[in-house]
C-alpha cells in the first residue's frame, strides 16, 4: 500500500472518530425534546464505526444499547443497578442487560 493511500486511511479513521463523538453529543442534546432523533444519531454512529472498522470509545459505548440502538439515559429509559463486582444496565425498551465490571482498588 502506498504512503498516500495509507495516510488517507488514517485521516478517514480520524474523521470517523470525530463524527462519532459529534453524533453522541447531538444525541445527548436532543434526547429531551426528541428521543427518536437521538436514537437515530446512535444508529448512525454505530454504522460509521462499522464502515471504517473502528470501535466506539468505551465511555460512549455504555450510553447506547447494542440490541435496539437506543440512546440510554439513566432514570428515563434504562435502569442502573450496582452489584458486588459489576454495574448492571438494563434497557427498558428491549430488556437487554449489560454488565460492566467495577474496579475494586
CATH of the domain at 32: 1.20.5.420
Q: What total number of domains does the chain contain? A: 1
H or E element at residue 101: strand 97-101
CA–CA separation, 50 vs 75, rounded Å? 29
Cell of 35: 428521543
Determine the structural domain holding residue 59 and report its residue range: 3-101
Contact call for residues 27 and 9 (beta carbons, < 8 A): no
pLDDT in tens, 53-84: 999 999 999 999 999 999 999 999 999 999 88
Burial group, residue 23, by CB count within 10 angstroms (0-12, 13-18, 19+): buried
Query: What phi and psi values does residue 33 have, to the nearest 5 degrees?
Result: -85, -35
Q: What is the pTM of this model?
A: 0.87
Residue 105 is predicted with a pLDDT of: 59
Amino acid at each position: 500500500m502506498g504512503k498516500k493511500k495509507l495516510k488517507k486511511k488514517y485521516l478517514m479513521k480520524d474523521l470517523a472518530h470525530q463524527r462519532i463523538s459529534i453524533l453522541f453529543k447531538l444525541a445527548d442534546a436532543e434526547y429531551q425534546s426528541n428521543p427518536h432523533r437521538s436514537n437515530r444519531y446512535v444508529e448512525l454512529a454505530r454504522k460509521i464505526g462499522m464502515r471504517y472498522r473502528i470501535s466506539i470509545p468505551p465511555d460512549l459505548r455504555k450510553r447506547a444499547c447494542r440490541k435496539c440502538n437506543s440512546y440510554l439515559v439513566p432514570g428515563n429509559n434504562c435502569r442502573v443497578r450496582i452489584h458486588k463486582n459489576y454495574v448492571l444496565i438494563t434497557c427498558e425498551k428491549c430488556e437487554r442487560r449489560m454488565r460492566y465490571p467495577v474496579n475494586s482498588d
